[in-house]
Structure 1
Amino acid sequence: YGVRILGPNTIMGVINAANGLNTTFERDVMPRKGSIAVICQSGGVGACLLDWACFYNVGISKLAFMGDKIDVDDVDLLRYLGEDEETKVVCLYMEGIKKGREFIEEARKIVKKKPLVVLKGGITEESVKRAKSHTASIAGSDEIFNAALKKAGIIRVEDIEELMNSAIALSKQPPMHGDNIAIVSNVGGPAILAADAVARNNLKLAALSDETKRKIEGLYPGVDATNPIDMIADARAERYSKVLELVLKDKSVDGVLIINMLKSCFFEPEDAEVIPKIAKKYPEKPVVDVPAGGEDFALVYKVLGDTNIPLYNLPEKAVKALKALRLYGRVLEKH
């Protein structure tokens, strides 16, 4: 009858958020319908990603837990998700590949249409042994694996959080077609940390035009419009709106990282509503937002969580998200 087998040792099975299918042990758990698909070789890692998606209300299209892959494997699932209209981004956690050449060939076709983000387990000598006993995987050389991913145009990340953060950015924002980042903030220290992270991730601080700087400083005499721009602690919606628009208009800017602290500042959560409104006017340039911290993040997330603006609780995470958007921009430029 042509019935296919997923597993064994899959533990979690599959979830299809579009039609409500859930074969996991968690019958009452269903992530919000969205555009991120997850392929996972580990039930434990998959359960973590599922919990993350539910907690932060991240939109998911499909989740599939492969297990030992005696029949359905990475290539089959990639091929399916590559054609799935509900999926914009594909995330993979894997510990080994059985059909390496086929996987790379299929991936090269898919990245022309949608980004692939991979987290690889079993990259150290110690963890390779555990991966083999865990899901019967042959991990192989990490150097070879990394080279193959780059050749295929797959974005590689280092941990579970970066996997989800990158997927959120790629599902909500356009790819970035340049290295130049503008930072717009109402505080100094986090903006400096963001600038450090930009350099560490092989991106650049945008050199704003003299005209842009002159207009910003003309509107707000106390503000130094050197990138990163510190709009100072009394910045509210009006200032964010005007400065963000001027920065996005600047031809030297390829993407924008916004920081909005609430504590010790005048900024209120509802002020964040101007960010997606202005960003919408410049759909070719990605914008990410950092309401840094814990409580501040939660308050702004209530306002922007359902918009197309990705939110991160630390500047370094937002920079890595922009890096993922830049990497996918390079993939599209090559393909």
Structure 2
Amino acid sequence: MNDGLAELDSFFTPEVIAVAGASVDKSKVGSIIYQKLRRNVGRGVLKAEVYAVNPKYDRVGSSRCYRDLVSLPVRPELLILAVPVSSVVELVDQAVQIGVKAILIISGGFGEAGRSDIERIIHEKAVRYGTRVLGPNTIGLLDPLSGVDTLFLPTRKRLPSGKHVKSLLEPKRGGVVIITQSGHLGEVIAEELWTSRVGVRAIVGVGNQLDVSVEDVLQYFSRDDATKVMALYLEGLKDGRRFLSVAGEASKRKPILVLKLGKTETGQKAALTHTASMAGDYSIYRAAFRQAGLVEAYSLQELVDYCVAFERLPEAGGNRVAIITNAGGTGAIAADESEKIGLSVVPMSKRLTTVFSEKFSTATFGNIVRANNPLDLSATATTEEFIKACKMVIESSEYDMMIAFPTHQPPTMDCGVVESMANLFHRWGRPMCVGIMGASEMAKWYHDSFCAAGVPSYPSPERAVRALGALAKYRTLRREAMCYKLPPTPTIPSSSAKYDWNETDKCALLAKYGIEHVKFSVMRSEREAKNIARDLGFPLVCKLMSSEILHKLELGGVILDVMNTQGLVSSYRKLRRRQSAMRIPFRGILVQQMIKGGLELILGSTTDAAFGPTVIFGVGGTYTELLGDYSVGIAPVSKGEARRMIDGLRMKPLLEGYRRGIRLDLNDLASMISSFSYMLYDHPSIGEVEINPLITDGKRMLAADIRVIPQWSSTKATDM
């Protein structure tokens, strides 16, 4: 893929546009696109020549229609294809021959319908001639600044009564870039944003990403001065490591919000059907978002709310939030939600409470003392008192952000609160939003008026809190992402590379990266029992060695608590009989020192189709799957990222010596996880590794059981 970003200008600011599929039938996609572009030319918004191409017509509307691209009087810079799949390849061939710079393929029926062969042909032609292709299977794009608009949804429809009404709100200019693998949702997000008077910088539907990808668009708009925030609706990725590198760099310049489809198996299947992208393991995507500094939204509504906050508000300088209300319950809900998501509801200082006691009436101040932060002014507070309280909190400099709930129902609160609070908002320079609840006309007026004044308004305490929480989270994530640089994708060696590591090889490899293995010996005859017992001592563990068995304990391939030489011989015989019954090759019996009383952890890896090697760390040893408490990182991870993986565990208190238990040095543990992740990166022939359990007494960490699966095999493993 060509990474030249300047080439994408031809999609957003072309001088000449041709629409193949333009039609006299106003219901056709090509007709809708052509008429939209012509209308924008007439309004003076689009500074481009627009031509219709369709062999069926001589004219479309009042303009001439051309049979093919060769017949056009000038060479198009952008070609829009809204034609049947059967016509696409021929038109692409014409386009590349005459030097068209950019092709937007609206048509569907390609990879998502099992026709990846057509995509391959188009891609080969585009690469050969240096033409960029957006799509196929896309709604296209909208750029309100340049007037390019290929969103082919009709703007008006008829109700059963016969009345024609608006079916599509025209997106207004603003600072939000919407990058989506679902064109319809891009339009929905834009409409939802406009209910808060927030406009868009662009909507880009990437479709099947035959050429132009999510990463290309992220790079392009991260360097655009008019862009304030990028919102990404993501179904799946084809090159996860490139996404991680590009998004990590882009998020340093602009906030990137992401909503991931395919969190469940059903959603993953839907994503594959929709855009021919593998949705992948959601835990791996979450790790990638964290490492790249992206703020994840967990619903479409959250994505919209976050966009409003990032488009309207300044950057957060910290996470200390002040909550001011004239309704105590609202403040309590906001406080609970704030603590839940990591905002700090710090009490007012003694100095600030003293200032309040001097400035406020006794009746009102009595409520303030009981509430503090949240600051409950009660329903008796007037508009002037509410504004005075907000101003005093702002002037105290004790808080990084503020949420105000100027409930309109009390008789003492009037509409003047909107203008006064908007003035405070624009002077303060720190994030502030309001919560306006209710379904009355007055509530709607408050909401609309605050939004029109540039103050974000949310219909519930939880949504207001989470929106500001996203700002604080971005501050933290960007700082962490700036310290993290992902190396290039490792090259996977051919299958001739070493893969069948023996026990000594594996121990040597782990030791090179700072991971020690429990002392062991391989027993191949009963005569070796005395020497092994003398070298290792007791108690011992005996394990059947086989690359065909991945879970030996469940199949009777492990004997614990071997306490003497006679027991060692007996265990050897039992495991030999077990091996014979299972008809597997005999490689020896692994005899290990048995570690008792330690804390069991798991450290492992897998290779993801999109992101490559990933590292997995968790608590629980053999109970890890039952507990489901683990963290994931895209390898290699830095020590700081490894520490964040540890901090994300629910059972982190166990690692910190919960109830006088074993206490670990978490920085040393993070160093080990990071080192292990570099082992995965340095040895791409390793497909999967599992050290389970990894046992620690607080001083040493010992790998008690190791399983290795080569990259090119889904079944063959070597075990310890």
Normalised by the shorter chain, which TM-score bucket? over 0.9
- Paired position in structure 2 for 1:43: 183
For 2:239, the equivalent position in structure 1 comes to 99
Q: Quote the Cα distance in structure 1 between the aligned partners of 2:450 and 2:201.
A: 21
Provide closer, same or farther for how the CA distance between residues 105 and 220 of structure 1 changes in structure 2, counting only shifts above 3 A: farther
> What is the distance in 2 between the residues matched to 1:297 and 1:164?
20
Determine the C-alpha separation between the residues in 2 that align with 1:168 and 1:70. Answer: 31
Letter in 1 for 2:436: P
Does the 8 A contact of 1:276 with 1:308 survive in 2? yes
Query: How many angstroms apart in 1 are the aligned matches of 2:154 and 2:201?
Result: 17
SS in 1 for 2:392: helix
Structure with higher Rg: it is 2
| 1:30/1:54 contact within 8 Å kept | no
Counterpart residue number, 1:236? 382
Kept in 2: contact 1:20–1:30 (CA 8 A): no
Q: Quote the residue 2:153 is aligned against.
A: 26
Unaligned 5+ segments in structure 2 are 1-98, 103-131, 156-168, 483-720
One-letter amino acid of the counterpart of residue 378, structure 2: I
Amino acid at match of 2:233: Y
Match of 1:291, as an amino acid? I
The count of aligned residue pairs is 333
Q: 2:446 maps to what in 1?
A: 300
Task: State the partner residue of 1:280.
Answer: 426
Q: Distance in 1 between matches of 2:196 and 2:414?
A: 21
Residue 140 of structure 1 aligns with which residue? 280
Same amino acid, percent of matched pairs? 29
User: Any runs of at least 4 consecutive aligned residues in structure 1 with deviations exceeding 4 A, and if so which?
Assistant: none
1:26, distance to aligned residue in structure 2 (A): 3.3
1:65 matched to which residue of 2? 205
Letter in 2 for 1:188: G
Q: Which residue of 2 aligns with 1:253?
A: 399
Offset, 1:99: 1.8
- The equivalent of 1:110 in structure 2 is 250
What is the CA-CA distance between 1:300 and the residue it aligns to? Answer: 1.1
Given the two structures, how large is their TM-score scaled by the length of structure 1? 0.94
Output the aligned Cα RMSD. 1.7
C-alpha separation between the residues in 2 aligned to 1:254 and 1:314? 21
- Higher-RCO chain (CA-CA 8 Å, sequence separation at least 6): 1
The CA deviation at 1:248 is 1.6
Which residue pairs with 1:163 in the alignment?
Answer: 303
Q: 1:8 pairs with 103, 126, 136, which one?
A: 136
SS of residue paired to 1:204: coil
Distance in structure 1 (CA, Å) of the matches to 2:394 and 2:474 = 20
CA drift at 1:265: 4.3
Indicate conservation of the 8 Å contact 2:380/2:412, yes or no. yes
Residue identity opposite 2:200 in structure 1: I
Whole-angstrom CA distance in 2 between matches of 1:97 and 1:305: 35
User: For residue 425 of structure 2, what is the amino acid of its counterpart?
Assistant: A
Displacement of 1:332 in angstroms is 4.1
CA contact (8 A) 2:408 2:443 kept: no
Closer/same/farther in 2, CA of residues 17 and 201 from structure 1, 3 Å limit: same
Change (3 A) 1:333 1:221: farther
Asked if the contact 1:16/1:62 (under 8 Å) is kept, the reply is yes
Measure, in 1, the Cα distance between the counterparts of 2:416 and 2:142.
35
SS of 2:133 mapped into structure 1: coil
Judged with a 3 Å threshold, the aligned counterparts in structure 2 of structure 1 residues 79 and 14 are, in CA distance, closer, same or farther, namely: same
Q: Is the 8 A contact 1:290 1:311 kept in 2?
A: yes
Q: 1:195 Cα shift?
A: 0.9
Q: Distance in 2 between matches of 1:278 and 1:50?
A: 28
Residues 193 and 265 of structure 1: CA distance in aligned 2, closer, same or farther (over 3 Å):
farther
Secondary structure, counterpart of 1:34 in structure 2: strand
- The TM-score normalised by the length of structure 2 is 0.45
Q: For 1:168-179, list aligned pairs within 5 A.
A: 168-179=308-319
